[in-house]
A and B are shown apart, each in its own frame.
Chain A
Amino acid sequence: MVPFLNNLSLKKRLLQRYANANQGFGWLGWLLVLLTPFVFLLGLGIGPVAIDAQQLLYLLPSLLNDALLSPLGLGNAAVHDPALSSLHIIIMDIRLPRTLLAWLVGAGLAISGAAMQGLFRNPLADPSIIGVTSGASLGASIAVVVIANRIGVGGAEQWGGLSILVMGAFIGGLLAVLIVYRLSTASSDGVTSNSTSVATMLLVGIAITALAGAGNSLLAYIADNNTMRSMSLWNMGGLDAANVLRVKLAGSIIIPAIFLLMCFSRQLDAMLLGESEAKHLGVDVQRVKWALIVIVAIAVASSVALAGVIGFVGLVVPHMLRMVIGPSHRRLLPYSALAGGLMLVMADIVARVIVSPAEMPVGVITAILGAPLFIFLLRQRRDYGMY
């Protein structure tokens, strides 16, 4: 069926999609939707203190009350079974924020990766391609090594739940993208008016990444041992610092970003044809580029700031989905968010249990789990030209 061009009623459209086996709206999307609560419950249940299904079911009403209704002022003071109240606290204070943060960060990274692969028309692109990750890394290092030392606080010092590291990372990530974008945007040369070359952007991104990497190494060199260890752990990514404030911050940035990115699915499809082709189809290419980069920069900078550098999700999740559902962004973008969220929640569960009671950095897990899966899929679909 022809995608994205019929403005029929939603019901009719769904029926049409359903009728068409090749487009197959359904199964993968529904599977991802159905898996989400299941994996969420796993995320709540699994950990150093095991909470079994029966206990979870028993706790569920009061959890829902506390997590959803109370913040809206609708909840009633729940009466807790004293035997379960410690579990209730574990879930509300530790596991629920952590699982939610994992989902948000995973979803944000994956959908950003899908959008960047589309924008750059390059299957090797990932959210870090515009320099945001390395910029955040450098920002975090500067915050910890220089600023925190100068004003005499520890890098992990919390200010209302946020460390100076988080703020440094967020600002660094955005600054790096700004530099990359400015350097690859040619001012009007008479022929092409004020356009951003994605090819230049790719290269400038690499240069900025290298530069930030050097800055990082330099700071690591002058840092003391403790600071250096916290920097390098942060660079491996981890969700152990999750708390309610971080979830709220991540949610208020990443959820809107997901929906905004989904608005660009048709433009991204057209841009895969080529930039001038997209222009000829009526896409305001420069504006779309700018909007996508701003949205992705903010979403990724916030997730890197809150959860460290988590590689692989943004690169591989959209890829794996494209192999199954094709490149059309109308489905690729929402599916990427769903699958990315699931993948990171699962990876975080593994990170928590594999060396329990210690924890593995989740970035290590995503690579260990994701890379073999990706290679397996690659070998399955060699007929697809680009794969």
Chain B
Amino acid sequence: MKQAQNARMLFNAVSLSRDSMTVLDDINLTLPAGEITALLGPNGAGKTSLLHCASGVMKCSAGRVLLNEKDIQLYTPLALAKKVAVLPQQSGLNFPFSVEDVVAMGRYPHSDGQVCDGKIIHRLMDILHIRDLAKRPYTALSGGEKQRTQVARVLSQVVSNEQLDVYENSLLLLDEPIAALDMPHQSLLMALLQTLAAKGLTILIVLHDVNLAATYADNIALLKAGRLLAFDSVSKVITEAMIKQVYDVDVDIIAHPKTAKPLVIREV
């Protein structure tokens, strides 16, 4: 397993059990700063629970989660929100806020007198193609438009200015952000995440699309039945044997003709 020198977040022997069921079992994981780590695994493997532990909303039953070398449970809600932004799998907002209002909520922990808040919001809405929807009620949007709005909200929490610089030592947790998006917007979002990672943002992202993960992520963590099976750079993790072990499907892996990254093809 990969050991990073510059760790943004550290899972130290993290276990989680709920109703006497083991959800996470002795997870040791290091999220390297400024890199994208994709979290993959079959349904019910514990990916979302791992994210909950990372965001501090769930207390792990054993072990510790350290953010910037400090136990995540020791942060105050506001101090944590300044460092960690979270996009949940689905959002239950059913009050007709305008799209702009929803995106602006991401500035909540930072609203400390910066006039540039408005600029950040507008920039992100431009990038995610929701500027035209700015005044529309959120409840009237399509699923993909809602998702892009939520993504813009979460990104506005980690971006510190119009040039998309990110706050120092910050972390972004995304739970299946691309599920509702069409193909161009999937690529758009992943490329945007790469840009932010290059500026120092650490990203943990739950994905189901192995190829997308292989294309855009720096590292891949494989989770199965609450246990971490592998955590390493893309080319080391995406192997036929590993995919077989995690998903129990037979695949072929070839090199992408342009990027030479591994490309998984389902056997028929």
Contacts and interface: CB of A to CB of B under 8 A. Distances in A.
Interface of A: 1-8, 22, 121, 190-193, 266, 269-270, 272-274, 276-277, 279-285, 322, 326-328, 383-387
Contacts of B113: 6-8
Interface residues of B, number: 48
Interface string B81-99: 1101110100111111110
Contact of B55 (A280, A285, A326): A280
Interface stretch (B63-71, B100-108, B230-238, B259-267): B100-108
B137 interface: yes
Nearest to A21: B135
Contacts of B92: 121, 274
B78 interface: yes
B106 to A, nearest CB: 7
A281 B94 contact: no
B96 A326 contact: yes
Contacts of B55: 280
A384 B97 contact: no
B93 A281 contact: no
Nearest to A288: B77
Contacts of B121: 2
Top-4 shortest CB links A-B: A385-B139, A282-B81, A7-B113, A5-B111
A191 B139 contact: no
Contacts of A387: 96
A8 B137 CA distance: 26
B91 A273 contact: yes
B139 A384 contact: yes
Contacts of B97: 269, 272, 326-328
B117 interface: yes
A276 B88 contact: yes
Chain B: interface secondary structure? mixed
Chain A: interface secondary structure? loop
Contacts of B59: 190-193
B255 interface: no
B58 interface: yes
Given A121-B95, A276-B57, A282-B78, A3 B101 contact: yes
A282 B117 contact: no
A1 B102 CA distance: 12
B80 A274 contact: no
Contact of A272 (B18, B76, B93, B115): B93
B61 A190 contact: yes
B67 to A, nearest CB: 13
A192 B52 CA distance: 11
Q: Specify which of A3, A22, A383 lies most central, judged by the most chain B CB atoms within 10 Å of its CB.
A: A3
Contacts of A327: 95-97
B111 A4 contact: yes
Contact of A2 (B78, B109, B117): B117
Contacts of A1: 118
Nearest to A12: B115
A5 B117 contact: yes
B88 A2 contact: no
Given A385-B94, A386-B96, A269 B105 contact: yes
A193 B78 CA distance: 17
A285 to B, nearest CB: 8
17 contacts: A5-B104, A5-B108, A7-B114, A22-B135, A191-B16, A269-B101, A270-B105, A274-B93, A280-B84, A282-B78, A282-B81, A285-B77, A384-B139, A384-B140, A385-B94, A385-B96, A385-B140
Contacts of A193: 59
A3 B102 CA distance: 10
Given A282-B79, A384-B137, 10 more contacts: A22-B135, A270-B108, A274-B88, A276-B88, A279-B57, A280-B84, A280-B86, A281-B105, A328-B97, A383-B140
Contacts of B105: 269-270, 273, 281
Contacts of B111: 4-7
A282 B95 contact: no
Given A8-B115, A22-B135, A281 B101 contact: no
A189 to B, nearest CB: 9
Contacts of A280: 55, 57, 81, 84-86
Nearest to A269: B105
A2 B107 contact: yes
Interface in B1-51: 16, 18
A386 B139 contact: yes
A8 B139 CA distance: 30
B157 interface: yes
B248 interface: no
B112 interface: yes
Contacts of B95: 121, 272, 322, 327, 386
A326 B94 CA distance: 12
B94 A386 contact: yes
A127 to B, nearest CB: 19
B113 to A, nearest CB: 4
Contact of B117 (A6, A272, A285): A6
Contacts of A190: 59, 61
B57 A2 contact: no
Contacts of A266: 108
A385 B139 CA distance: 5
Contacts of A192: 57-59
Nearest to A118: B95
B77 A283 contact: yes
Contacts of B101: 2-3, 269, 326, 328
